[in-house]
């Protein structure tokens, strides 16, 4: 579906716009996309927040990620233009209210692994927080628009697994830090994220081939 089609559903529009962004030659010089650094910051704040039973599972899941996903080494892709912080809040219609969809908020824009931009919806889908049909529409729109982060067909998870795990840890770390600060128990969504981190600790990441170029 054309991402500029005003009738496109949000996830379909996001998939098409991301594919277009990832296919756009990056201007030089451009700094690295800030996704891994933001995830590392969320984990650092969790370490400072104090002990809690679920904290250990989140930190273990983080420790099992490759160094680049923890912002401790250069990313394996240093040429692809990436948004760096995709979520539906970064998608607006312009002109409002019925114009084409547009991606906004490029504060984290840079070069890096394009699969990172697909990682939040992938993580939500894997955690049961994004319905399968919405995930399928997003992924299909991305592939149909020639997005390079995943193969054109077949299993996308060798490319998505590490970024999706990193985004799961980041989101869980933020949720735990907030709950600790508020002195409250985790809600259902927050528990789903921390439970996913516990499962991740017992299952090795798919260190698959680099995304298709």
DSSP sequence for 96-112: TTTS-EEE---TT-EES
Evaluate if pTM is beyond 0.85.
Answer: yes
On the CB side of 125, how many CA atoms lie within 13 Å of its CA?
A: 18
Residue 206: what pLDDT? Answer: 59
Count of structural domains within the chain: 1
Cβ atoms < 10 Å from Cβ of 98: 8
Residue 212: what pLDDT? Answer: 37
Domain extent, residue 154, equals 10-201
Dist. CA 125–CA 127, nearest whole Å: 5
Dihedral (Cα; 185, 38, 51, 203), 10-degree rounding: 90
pLDDT digits (tens, 9 = 90+) for 7-51: 568 888 889 999 999 999 998 889 999 999 999 999 999 999 877
pLDDT digits (tens, 9 = 90+) for 54-91: 899 999 999 999 999 999 999 999 899 999 887 777 77
Q: Is residue 186 in some structural domain? A: yes
pLDDT digits (tens, 9 = 90+) for 109-121: 899 999 999 999 9
Dist. CA 137–CA 92, nearest whole Å: 18
* CB proximity list for 156: less than 8 A, separation 6 or greater: 122, 139, 150
Dist. CA 70–CA 110, nearest whole Å: 16
Q: Is residue 206 in some structural domain? A: no
Across all residues in the chain, what is the average pLDDT?
Answer: 87
Dist. CA 88–CA 148, nearest whole Å: 21
Q: Is residue 213 in some structural domain? A: no
Is pLDDT at 211 greater than 50 in this prediction?
no
Residue 144 sits in a domain whose CATH number is: 3.90.1200
């Amino acid at each position: 579906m054309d991402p500029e089609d005003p009738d496109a559903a949000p996830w379909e529009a996001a998939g098409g716009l991301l594919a277009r962004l990832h296919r756009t030659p990056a201007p030089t010089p451009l700094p690295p996309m800030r996704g891994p650094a933001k995830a590392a910051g969320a984990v650092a704040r969790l370490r400072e927040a104090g002990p809690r039973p679920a904290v250990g599972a989140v930190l273990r899941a983080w420790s099992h990620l490759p160094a680049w996903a923890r912002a401790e080494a250069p990313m394996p892709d240093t040429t692809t233009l990436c948004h760096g912080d995709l979520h539906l809040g970064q998608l607006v219609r312009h002109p409002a209210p019925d114009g084409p969809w547009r991606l906004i908020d490029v504060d984290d824009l840079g070069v890096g692994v394009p699969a990172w931009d697909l990682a939040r919806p992938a993580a939500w889908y894997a955690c049961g927080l994004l319905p399968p049909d919405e995930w399928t529409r997003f992924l299909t729109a991305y592939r149909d628009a020639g997005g390079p982060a995943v193969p054109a067909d077949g299993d996308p998870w060798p490319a998505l697994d590490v970024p999706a795990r990193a985004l799961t840890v980041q989101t869980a770390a933020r949720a735990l830090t907030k709950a600790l600060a508020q002195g409250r128990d985790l809600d259902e969504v927050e528990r789903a994220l921390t439970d996913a981190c516990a499962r991740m600790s017992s299952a090795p990441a798919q260190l698959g081939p680099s995304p298709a170029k």
